[in-house]
């Protein structure tokens, strides 16, 4: 009884806390000074159309590096927790329809994924979204035909390689052009081109590969493949 009272009290308290936020919240009319710098900087200095990508990859590059590490940690953590035992997943054999369409679909999903993270700096989306699409591709493949055997060593290699390459580019930025993770090490190229905006696309594709392989290994570990 007291417990429910306490929970109710807590919820009312939280509401009271957020209430002033909501009551006198008025939408902003224009960008604040920092956001305006980002937009101009992204267009003039980094020559990248997608401002969010420039913010993610360069201006707040350390965040994204941290972000990738968090995902890497999650993968390793889940691996540590669940890898301990071989669970024989009784997989219901998928219908024949799923089998055939999946072989076509998987390839298309892979291409879509690669497209997303290579064009991160041009179109919305980027490393994370591309990586997830690739992971869902692998998931489809995993679910569709039971006996596919994921080659773990390649997965680990891709993961580690992309991580180290990402850090390598960062160090190159530090060594060549005064800032850790500075995209200036590659030519900025023309605005809107595929090979433009310095190292941003390279970084984002590496992130894409890493996120893709990590999420796949999480799914594989969670799914408990044979």
Residue 58 · residue 186 · CB < 8 Å? no
Q: What residues numbered 157-186 form the site for another protein, per CB under 8 A?
A: 157, 159-160, 163-164, 167-168, 170-171, 173-174, 177-184
Residue 176 token pair: 């060549």
Question: Does residue number 53 form part of the binding site for another protein (CB under 8 A)?
Answer: yes
Residue 185 token pair: 């090490």
For another protein, which residue of 21, 86, 97, 147 counts as binding (CB under 8 A)?
21
Closest residue by Cα to residue 165 from 133, 209, 125:
209
For another protein, which residue of 1, 34, 97, 104 counts as binding (CB under 8 A)?
34
CA gap 82, 223 in Å, rounded: 10
Please work out the total of residues on this chain that contact another protein, with binding judged by CB under 8 A: 112
In this complex, which beta carbon is closest to another protein, that of residue 107 or of residue 175?
Answer: 175
Query: For tokens 């509401």, what's the residue?
Result: 15
For another protein, which residue of 1, 22, 97, 104 counts as binding (CB under 8 A)?
22
CA gap 27, 132 in Å, rounded: 33
Question: Does residue number 190 form part of the binding site for another protein (CB under 8 A)?
Answer: no
Q: Which residues are CB-neighbours of 15 under 8 A, at least 6 positions away?
A: none
CB of 19 to another protein, least distance (A): 9
Question: Does residue number 189 form part of the binding site for another protein (CB under 8 A)?
Answer: no
Give the other-Cβ count within 10 Å of 43's Cβ.
14
In this complex, which beta carbon is closest to another protein, that of residue 1 or of residue 16?
Answer: 16
Give the other-Cβ count within 10 Å of 47's Cβ.
21
Question: Does residue number 151 form part of the binding site for another protein (CB under 8 A)?
Answer: no
Question: Does residue number 132 form part of the binding site for another protein (CB under 8 A)?
Answer: yes
CA gap 34, 192 in Å, rounded: 24
CB of 49 to another protein, least distance (A): 4
Q: What residues numbered 55-94 form the site for another protein, per CB under 8 A?
A: 55-56, 58-67, 69-74, 76-85, 87
């Amino acid at each position: 009884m007291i417990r429910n009272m306490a929970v109710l009290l807590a919820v009312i308290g939280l509401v009271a806390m957020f209430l002033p936020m909501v009551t006198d919240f008025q939408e902003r009319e224009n960008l604040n000074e920092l956001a305006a710098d980002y937009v101009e900087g992204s267009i003039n200095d980094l020559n990248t159309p997608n401002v969010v990508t420039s913010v993610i990859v360069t201006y707040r590059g350390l965040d994204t590096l941290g972000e990738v590490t968090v995902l890497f940690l999650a993968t390793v953590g889940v691996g540590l927790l669940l890898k301990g035992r071989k669970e024989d997943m009784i997989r219901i054999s998928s219908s024949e329809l799923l089998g055939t369409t999946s072989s076509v679909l998987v390839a298309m999903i892979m291409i879509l994924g690669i497209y997303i993270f290579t064009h991160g700096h041009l179109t919305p989306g980027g490393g994370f979204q591309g990586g997830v699409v690739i992971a869902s591709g692998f998931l489809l493949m995993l679910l569709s035909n039971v006996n596919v055997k994921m080659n773990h060593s390649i997965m680990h290699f891709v993961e580690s390689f992309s991580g180290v390459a990402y850090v390598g580019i960062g160090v190159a930025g530090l060594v060549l052009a005064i800032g850790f993770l500075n995209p200036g090490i590659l030519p900025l190229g023309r605005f809107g081109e595929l090979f433009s905006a310095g190292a941003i696309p390279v970084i984002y594709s590496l992130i894409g590969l890493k996120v893709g392989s990590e999420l796949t290994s999480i799914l594989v570990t969670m799914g408990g493949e044979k």
